[in-house]
C-alpha cells in the first residue's frame, strides 16, 4: 500500500525512534512504539522495550503501548487508532495488534528472523486472523536498522 501521509508518519516514527533510543540506554533491545488516535492525532501511549527491566518476555514496546492506550481509550479495542513501531512486530505483537483492532500499523525495520507481518508467518495474511490493519513498512527503516545493528555490535 502507498503511504497515506508521509510527513505525518515520519513525525510519529521520530517519536517511536526516540523511545527506542531510550530503551537502548536502559540496556533493552532498541524498539520503540506509540499509539495515536487517528482522528485527533493525540499520542495515547509511547514506550520502548522493557523485557529486561520488568523481567517479562511480553514487555515488548508494542504490548506496553497497547495496554496503556487501552486504559486511556476506555477499552481493549483501539478502533480508529494507529500504531507506529520501529521494528516489524513479532507474532505475539501482531496477534495483539489484531485483537486491539488497530486501524493502521506503521513500522520501520524488517525483522527477517522474528517478524510476523512481512516476514515469517505473515500473521495478518492467515485465514484465522480476525482483523487486518492497513500496514505500511519501511518508515525510516535505515535509522531503525542502524540503531538495532549498533546495539547488537556493542554486545557481541
**Catalytic positions:** 62
13 Cβ neighbours under 8 A, 6+ residues apart: 84, 86, 106, 108, 139, 140
Backbone φ, ψ for residue 54 (5° rounding):
-90, -5
Distance separating alpha carbons of residues 137 and 156, to the nearest angstrom: 28
Amino acid at each position: 500500500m502507498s503511504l497515506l501521509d508521509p510527513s505525518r508518519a515520519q513525525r510519529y516514527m521520530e517519536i517511536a525512534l526516540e523511545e527506542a533510543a531510550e530503551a537502548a540506554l536502559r540496556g533493552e533491545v532498541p524498539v520503540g512504539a506509540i499509539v495515536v488516535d487517528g482522528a485527533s492525532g493525540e499520542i495515547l501511549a509511547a514506550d520502548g522495550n522493557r523485557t529486561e527491566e520488568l523481567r517479562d518476555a511480553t514487555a515488548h514496546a508494542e504490548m506496553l503501548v497497547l495496554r496503556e492506550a487501552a486504559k486511556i481509550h476506555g477499552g481493549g479495542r483501539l478502533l480508529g487508532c494507529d500504531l507506529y513501531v520501529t521494528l516489524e512486530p513479532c507474532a505475539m505483537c501482531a496477534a495483539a495488534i489484531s485483537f486491539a483492532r488497530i486501524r493502521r500499523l506503521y513500522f520501520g525495520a524488517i525483522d527477517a528472523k522474528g517478524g510476523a507481518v512481512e516476514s515469517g508467518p505473515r500473521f495478518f495474511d492467515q485465514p484465522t486472523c480476525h482483523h487486518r490493519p492497513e500496514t505500511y513498512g519501511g518508515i525510516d527503516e535505515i535509522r531503525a536498522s542502524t540503531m538495532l545493528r549498533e546495539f547488537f555490535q556493542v554486545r557481541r
